[in-house]
Structure 1
């Protein structure tokens, strides 16, 4: 072949595609039409990863003590709402505290590190501490909630692999003053008792678990408690516990119209700043979580039942000459008058015989129905989680009705007793108790009329008579100017399955001012001893004067003005 001829040939033209493919469809010409979509998709990926990268950089430079750096699942910096009293005084708040952790993989000498840490925290278990430090874990808590002094001492040790994380700790400025109402939190700042638990159960814990309570300012939760009255109540109860050598005491101040609990506590109490104290079986909330036979305070409800039924009038009388014998038991009176007693005399002399006959006049079914209507036989509904369920006989017989009429055979909580008494003082309307502020209008919307207003008026009269009359068992609760009324209760406690002649549970159920009752004050004293120089250890000699002391100190703070009648007017004129 002639190479030169081949070199002189013209290059062949590039092959061209026909306009139509073998199937008759027009071929696409030019660049692909989806190039714009590809460009947009690439741009979106770049933007998304740019945002992620920016956030990673931001978190990387964030200070270690900022809660958001830990992520939504790290709750140690979750804020809790403050608890405040009705006047804005702080009952519970958050403070910052340091907690100690280790990164075991960075620990050079676990044995030396353990010895150094034990020099500052000697209560740690040495074996447990060494195992934590010698493990291959990346993170391990060593101690939560250190004091500033402990933190500084550990910092001075300069141990590699040991660090601190700032977290929130709950602080209760009043200590044990309102501990049973506020409750407390655990080490993870989660409510486990009292109103703290109520707040969590109302949705706060869900916020906390979702990480939405971190770095958030939460509105304070206002309670119905008045810290001033709360302090007075606790102070007087502590004095009574010492004075009468009792094993426990308790008390509550309740608004009869709104159902607001203004003050409530029991002793022995506990400091919620040291929640381990709450594990002591003697440090229980006796007012709402304790069940007791309330003794003669129950005669209040028996008399109200008899009057409300229409089968007994306040002008009626009952023969209390001889004891009642029923079911092998003898029902007698303490210092009985051994004569016919009018209804007011049955009340102020606290006659077991007369009260039992009032119950007989109503009947067993009517008796059970009335106490149920008053809320004394079913579990009380309120915000506080620590609420006990009352006990009663499975089958009510005549002997049960008789003994229950004067406070034996049914166990209920003192707070329920106060709420039922409020019903008899406010015109016959049952208002559920609350530990949150409630207006009069809100209470009216919740109220249920369970007793005739006339019955309420008659019970006010009897309450006042029992204190104002020198024959009344509650005369030692009198406070000049405040028209106190009430009913004593002295119940023999059950010891080893039998009623004891020496162990007593005393109570005084009071209201004031009786011309227009605004507050119930109930004080209970468990196993008081006879005070030197006094004839008895019954409620009239200990629970009643304690109630009087509480009212004397707190009435003006509650907005109740004293009324001394004509004598006061003359005194004011002379000045």
Structure 2
């Protein structure tokens, strides 16, 4: 190859190398520009995302919390109730601060994970129900668990579940638990009264104040009841012991001031804990047996009160002037009437004086007194004593007595000794108080009442002389009759037992009794009425199942423990006999 050819070939090769280098450099520039554009786009995207997040956070910050989550306003969640005190200033009910857990389903990320985590804190949680709540993405609010403990709140916070929060609330607390359950009643989850005096407070305007937002986290004047917590505790303990000891279906008692009508204590067993008015079984169902304790047998139920009604029949005969304490009624033979035979449980089969009729609890003698008075006057007298109409008091849910639609002679006869008409035990105690306090019927109250206030509303239902005679009969029976098993040395107790065949499905059972004892003390200066009931006892003192073996020992225990606390000083010797000799 010539020199010239070599030079030409070299130039061509160099030209090609330069062209290739230029193409290569051009490609590098294009890639750089493309990468720069991508970085800019990513940066812009991040800025937009952060700006959107910031805007969302600002929105949540300035939006009304209640509107954001559809939670009840704070003034509803923090609505206060007044403290409830006993007559001596002891605390019976109060509000405490607590928190409740809620969720915002639209913010829950993993529903399954949230439910599993919550179940570690609340093993009894309704998993299906909770899952359904949290899965409703259109929902902004759902309660998960109301009124949890601080420890539970701390444990939930540690779980870090998105969309779960807490709101402060008020919870009602009853320091005595079951002690005064039926007097106080209880409140629902939103702190609204459901039963007892809690419901009464709402009915007096507290609910309206709450609705207007005027009870939100503000101090309210405490409400004082007539209840004496010391006596209340004794009454409940005695009823609870009797329930077990006598293998009964139910038991109860009430203590009443005969001058003012104040209820100092009232208990009905079975009962419940107002801090936990309902219970859930392991399978998630409501414990129906526990809820039977809601039933207050002292004021919310009616019973045929048995021979305690003989007090009213004899008082009627005395007040109508048909008999005196010296009158004699023939009780030598059973009475046959309308296909029924009326006889005595342990008849003396002879004429009896009025005190003997009371002492031996003679059905025949009592029926004879009712017959002397007559049907219309009999019905009118029991109505006058408040035994046949609904009782007026603060306690909600008071039962209405039952009586025959049309009174016939057989009705008057059987009602005279406590069968055929049903009334509440509290009404029986109130009517009995009118027999021994001078003849004044004073409506019962669960609020403090002075003697002067009681006089203003009292109604004279029997003559003073009739009341004197009834005090004598109560004292007589306390010393010589069925009241002996209720006697406490030094306290001069009088009263009347009542053993009634229990009504089951509209028929009288021959093997089950409803027993009661109405007592007054001290009989020389009566101050208090105590009435006890025991439903269907299977046993009793010395193997008996009558009121003298069951209800009367309850009276003895209550008065023996409560009388000193009520300021009744014992008088030893035989004050009962002294009273009878001094007055008759």
Partner residue in 2 for 1:345: 356
Give the C-alpha shift of residue 282 in structure 1: 5.0
**Contact 1:267–1:283 (8 Å) recurs in 2:** no
| 1:64–1:564 CA distance, 2 compared to 1 (3 A) | farther
- Given the alignment, which residue of 179, 185, 197 partners 2:181? 179
Give the C-alpha shift of residue 422 in structure 1: 0.6
Give the C-alpha shift of residue 73 in structure 1: 7.1
Give the C-alpha shift of residue 137 in structure 1: 1.9
Greater CA drift, 379-388 or 118-127 = 118-127
**Contact 1:285–1:386 (8 Å) recurs in 2:** no
Partner residue in 2 for 1:237: 239
Partner residue in 2 for 1:374: 385
Give the C-alpha shift of residue 153 in structure 1: 1.2
Give the C-alpha shift of residue 64 in structure 1: 9.3
- Given the alignment, which residue of 400, 403, 406 partners 1:395? 406
Q: Measure the CA separation in 2 of the matches of 1:302 and 1:126.
A: 62
Pairs within 5 Å for 1:42-53: none
Partner residue in 2 for 1:462: 473
Over the aligned positions, Cα root-mean-square deviation in angstroms equals 2.2
Matched, 1:95 2:104: no
Partner residue in 1 for 2:487: 478
| 1:190–1:441 CA distance, 2 compared to 1 (3 A) | same
Q: SS where residue 193 of structure 2 aligns? A: coil
Give the C-alpha shift of residue 242 in structure 1: 1.6
Greater CA drift, 227-236 or 490-499 = 490-499
Q: SS where residue 451 of structure 1 aligns? A: coil
Structure of larger gyration radius: 2
Partner residue in 2 for 1:273: 275
Matched, 1:257 2:266: no
Q: Measure the CA separation in 1 of the matches of 2:297 and 2:496.
A: 20
Q: Measure the CA separation in 1 of the matches of 2:219 and 2:294.
A: 33
Q: SS where residue 76 of structure 2 aligns? A: coil
Q: Measure the CA separation in 2 of the matches of 1:403 and 1:255.
A: 30
**Contact 1:72–1:211 (8 Å) recurs in 2:** no
TM-score (ref. length: structure 1)? 0.85
Pairs within 5 Å for 1:317-356: 317-356=328-367
Give the C-alpha shift of residue 386 in structure 1: 2.2
**Contact 2:248–2:536 (8 Å) recurs in 1:** yes
Give the C-alpha shift of residue 159 in structure 1: 1.1
Partner residue in 2 for 1:563: 571
**Contact 2:277–2:291 (8 Å) recurs in 1:** no
Partner residue in 2 for 1:80: 81
Partner residue in 1 for 2:123: 122
**Contact 1:376–1:420 (8 Å) recurs in 2:** yes
Q: Measure the CA separation in 1 of the matches of 2:85 and 2:258.
A: 22
Q: Measure the CA separation in 1 of the matches of 2:217 and 2:531.
A: 43
Q: Measure the CA separation in 2 of the matches of 1:385 and 1:224.
A: 16
Greater CA drift, 323-332 or 474-483 = 474-483
Give the C-alpha shift of residue 336 in structure 1: 0.3
Q: SS where residue 516 of structure 2 aligns? A: strand
Return 5+ residue gaps in structure 1 as ranges: 1-59, 568-575
Q: SS where residue 531 of structure 2 aligns? A: strand
**Contact 1:304–1:459 (8 Å) recurs in 2:** yes
Matched, 1:544 2:557: no
Give the C-alpha shift of residue 71 in structure 1: 8.2
Deviations 1:393-437 (Å, cap 9, x if unpaired)? Answer: 000000000000000000000000000001111100010000000
| 1:72–1:107 CA distance, 2 compared to 1 (3 A) | closer
Matched, 1:507 2:509: no
Give the C-alpha shift of residue 174 in structure 1: 0.4
Deviations 1:152-174 (Å, cap 9, x if unpaired)? Answer: 11111011211111100001000
TM-score (ref. length: structure 2)? 0.83
Q: SS where residue 269 of structure 1 aligns? A: coil
Deviations 1:530-570 (Å, cap 9, x if unpaired)? Answer: 33743x21111111111011001000111111112599xxx
Give the C-alpha shift of residue 281 in structure 1: 3.0
Name the count of aligned residue pairs.
504
Partner residue in 2 for 1:153: 155
Q: Measure the CA separation in 2 of the matches of 1:492 and 1:107.
A: 62
Give the C-alpha shift of residue 515 in structure 1: 0.8
Pairs within 5 Å for 1:287-302: 287-302=298-313
Q: Measure the CA separation in 2 of the matches of 1:228 and 1:565.
A: 28
Q: Measure the CA separation in 1 of the matches of 2:237 and 2:296.
A: 16
Partner residue in 1 for 2:443: 432
Give the C-alpha shift of residue 268 in structure 1: 0.5
- Given the alignment, which residue of 438, 446, 454 partners 1:443? 454
Q: Measure the CA separation in 1 of the matches of 2:183 and 2:363.
A: 36
Give the C-alpha shift of residue 106 in structure 1: 2.2
Give the C-alpha shift of residue 283 in structure 1: 4.0
Deviations 1:212-256 (Å, cap 9, x if unpaired)? Answer: 100210011000000000011111111112221111101000000
| 1:284–1:161 CA distance, 2 compared to 1 (3 A) | same
Q: Measure the CA separation in 2 of the matches of 1:216 and 1:131.
A: 37
**Contact 1:289–1:386 (8 Å) recurs in 2:** yes
Partner residue in 2 for 1:5: none
Q: SS where residue 381 of structure 1 aligns? A: coil
Q: Measure the CA separation in 1 of the matches of 2:73 and 2:105.
A: 24
Q: Would you tell me which structure has more helix in proportion to its own residues?
A: 2
Greater CA drift, 72-81 or 522-531 = 72-81
Q: Measure the CA separation in 2 of the matches of 1:498 and 1:143.
A: 47
